DNA sequence: GGTTTAAGCGAACAGCTGTACTCTAATCTA
DNA sequence: TAGATTAGAGTACAGCTGTTCGCTTAAACC
């Protein structure tokens, strides 16, 4: 940890530099700090800007980002330790967007929509309106950085946990069971989002219906499975013996 | 299409160069052709070799691959048009490995195992034994090349179609319905494989059990859903109204 | 008002990249 | 066997990369 005069530089878990005034000055946010925060934003936005179907974060170079941001390459280091640090910040912000979306979906459900349909449709709207944000999460989930993978996994876990709570509050089948079911649903919805990216609007509509059917199966199956009636004749192929 | 004297160069859908003797010589595989095929293999193997948790195909350079293969960088072009062409070949080979695995699983099931458990366990074995092959499919599924994405999607579709056929042959619920169900199952299994990559052996075991539970839910739910008994009291939260 | 602090810039560097071109040596064909 | 064909190597080049260092300039502090 660097310590110079009055100020102390630390790094948060995204590897971004944070200025912490040791004397806990109440006002904070002087001209300098404000401007720094501003160009930091410019860098983040520039990175998001360059993401696309053909461009992954891993394929972005530091120089490209600074070029887009209108900043000298060397100035990058005043804001992030390296590209990985910037990437983790992007993932964090994407996760935030995702959670806001969840809240929005919950509101829609509470004001009287079908839980499954509303969730799927809201999610697909998110994907359509934030393709590159979603692509980032999707790609870094299986990317080359363990930290990235963990960060995305954490965001998805948040997502899933909230759904599990909701399911459990309605079905009362127990937290652990609801987690397993919610996890499956989240994976299916995420995957549908991924597939949607390469689809036309019409195709996406079909995909939504298919995903809804899949979630309904899980929902119905959860009820059955919980009642342990699997071996009492309402089963599919699981117990089939050739 | 280049046409020189007796030979004719074409490209297959992976963008690899193919030598086609126009006179359909029966013997084929002269000394030259055999050696060429050989170094082509060396290149493919070198690429697979370099894939790892920290190294994606996209991050591989042409020079790295040729260095690993012990070949001059410029000689690469005798075998592939560019790196993308090599990548598509890798995806194709990976898909082949995957399909062989499927056949293996079907055999195990037919010789008297639980369909779901056997499938999941066989798949996880494949992932454990071919981590980098699986990683390739996983990453390129959401990669920056549309051709790659399409190629992986095709492989997964194969996989899913075979499962759907199996399900339908047992449950007789109709092809279309079985497809939707099989798709969901394949996605869940694939996702479990992805999660397993960052897990210890013990954790993987728990994951297998969780995945099996999820597939059983889908199986049971499929039966229920098909009987349209959703609104007759055996439902979960789907029709819940706050 | 003088001094400290730090954001941002420009030059420079070593190292890597893909690929065009030319040449060699081995194989194939007639 | 003479001539055509081609896999592979070597050289070369322009273009890009991340990062170091020293400098300027403006804000923050005493």
Reading the block at residue B38, the tokens are 């050989």
B72 and B119 together in one domain: no
Q: What's the number of domains chain A is made of? A: 2
Residue-level pLDDT at B206: 98
Nearest Cα neighbor of A66 from A51, A87, A47 is A47
Chain centroid to CA B211? 19
A237 part of a folded domain: no
ipTM of the complex: 0.88
φ, ψ for residue B72, nearest 5 deg: -70, 140
CATH number of the domain where residue B201 is located: 1.10.357.10
B241 part of a folded domain: no
Last residue of a domain, one of A14, A46, A78: A78
- Cβ of residue A240 near strand D, that is under 7 Å? no
- Which chain A residue shows the shortest CA-CA distance from B145? A54
Query: A20 pLDDT exceeds 70?
Result: no
A94 and A188 together in one domain: yes
Q: What share of chain B is helix, strand, coil (3-state, %, to 5)?
A: 70, 5, 25
DSSP state of A10: E
A170: contact with B, CB 8 A cutoff = yes
Rounded Cα–Cα distance for residues A239 and B116 (Å): 9
B83: contact with A, CB 8 A cutoff = no
Tell me the per-residue pLDDT of B88-137, one tens digit each, with 9 for 90 and over: 999 999 999 998 988 899 899 889 889 999 999 999 999 999 999 999 99
Beta strands in chain B (DSSP E): 3-4, 7-11, 17-21
Rounded Cα–Cα distance for residues B203 and B195 (Å): 10
A120 and A11 together in one domain: no
Quickly give A14 CA vs C4 C1' distance in Å.
Answer: 30
Last residue of a domain, one of A78, A102, A126: A78
In this prediction, residue A226 has a pLDDT band, given cuts at 50, 70 and 90, of confident
- Could A241 and B112 be called an inter-chain contact, meaning their C-beta atoms sit closer than 8 Å? yes
**Residue tagged 């948060």 (tokens):** A12
Task: Scan residues 1-60 of B and list those with Cβ closer than 8 Å to A.
Answer: 53-56, 58-59
Nearest Cα neighbor of A16 from A92, A93, A82 is A82
Which domain, by its residues, includes B139?
83-232
Rounded Cα–Cα distance for residues B80 and B17 (Å): 6
A242 part of a folded domain: no
Determine the residue among A237, A240, A241 to mutate to test chain B binding: the one whose Cβ has the most chain B Cβ atoms within 10 Å: A237
Task: Scan residues 182-201 of B and list those with Cβ closer than 8 Å to A.
Answer: 183-184, 187-188, 191, 194-195, 198
Residue at minimal CA–C1' distance from C11? A74
Q: Determine contact, residues B196/A166, Cβ cutoff 8 Å.
A: no
Query: A26 pLDDT exceeds 50?
Result: no
Nearest Cα neighbor of A188 from A126, A80, A116 is A116
Rounded Cα–Cα distance for residues A182 and A122 (Å): 16
- Dihedral sign for Cα A14, A16, A22, A28, please: negative
B227 part of a folded domain: yes
B242 part of a folded domain: no
DSSP string for residues in A172-190: -S-HHHHHHHHHHHHHHHH
A240 part of a folded domain: no
Query: B184 pLDDT exceeds 90?
Result: yes
B159 part of a folded domain: yes
B69 and B121 together in one domain: no
In this prediction, residue B232 has a pLDDT band, given cuts at 50, 70 and 90, of very low
Q: What is the tally of helices (H) and strands (E) in chain B?
A: 8, 3
Q: How far is B219 from chain A (nearest CA, A)?
A: 5
- Cβ of residue A25 near strand D, that is under 7 Å? yes
Rounded Cα–Cα distance for residues A55 and A47 (Å): 11
B69 and B101 together in one domain: no
Rounded Cα–Cα distance for residues B239 and A160 (Å): 20
B97 and B137 together in one domain: yes
Rounded Cα–Cα distance for residues B197 and B95 (Å): 18
C chain positions with any atom within 7 Å of a protein CB: 4-12, 16-22, 26-30
Determine the residue among B194, B233, B238 to mutate to test chain A binding: the one whose Cβ has the most chain A Cβ atoms within 10 Å: B238
Query: B242 pLDDT exceeds 90?
Result: no
Last residue of a domain, one of A78, A94, A129: A78
- Cβ of residue B64 near strand C, that is under 7 Å? yes
Q: What average pLDDT does range A75-104 have in this prediction?
A: 95
In this prediction, residue A10 has a pLDDT band, given cuts at 50, 70 and 90, of low
Cα first-last separation, chain A: 66
Residues 6+ apart with CB under 8 A from B240: A115, A170
Which residues in range 26-55 of chain A are in contact with strand D, contact meaning CB within 7 A of any of its atoms? 30-33, 35
Q: Determine contact, residues A90/A48, Cβ cutoff 8 Å.
A: yes
B88 and B180 together in one domain: yes
Rounded Cα–Cα distance for residues A132 and A127 (Å): 8
A68 part of a folded domain: yes
């Amino acid at each position: 940890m660097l310590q110079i005069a009055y100020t102390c530089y630390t790094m948060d878990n995204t590897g971004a530099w944070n200025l912490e005034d040791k004397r806990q000055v109440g006002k904070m946010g002087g001209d300098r700090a404000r401007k720094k925060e501003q160009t930091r934003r410019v860098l983040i936005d520039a990175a998001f800007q360059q993401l696309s179907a053909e461009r992954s974060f891993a394929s972005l170079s530091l120089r490209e980002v600074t070029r887009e941001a209108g900043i000298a390459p060397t100035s990058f280091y005043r804001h992030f330790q390296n590209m990985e640090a910037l990437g983790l910040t992007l993932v964090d912000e994407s996760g935030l967007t995702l959670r806001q979306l969840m809240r929005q979906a919950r509101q829609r459900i509470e004001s009287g929509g079908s839980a499954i349909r509303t969730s799927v449709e809201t999610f697909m709207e998110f994907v359509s309106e934030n393709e590159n944000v979603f692509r980032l999460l999707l790609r870094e989930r299986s990317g080359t950085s363990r930290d990235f993978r963990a960060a995305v996994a954490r965001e998805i876990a948040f997502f899933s946990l909230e759904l599990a709570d909701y399911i459990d509050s309605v079905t009362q089948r127990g937290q652990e069971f609801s987690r397993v079911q919610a996890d499956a649903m989240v994976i299916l919805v995420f995957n549908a989002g991924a597939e949607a990216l390469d689809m036309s609007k019409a195709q996406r509509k079909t995909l939504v219906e298919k995903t809804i059917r899949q979630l309904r199966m899980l929902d119905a199956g959860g009820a059955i499975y919980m009642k342990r009636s699997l071996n009492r004749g309402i089963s599919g192929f699981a117990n089939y013996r050739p």
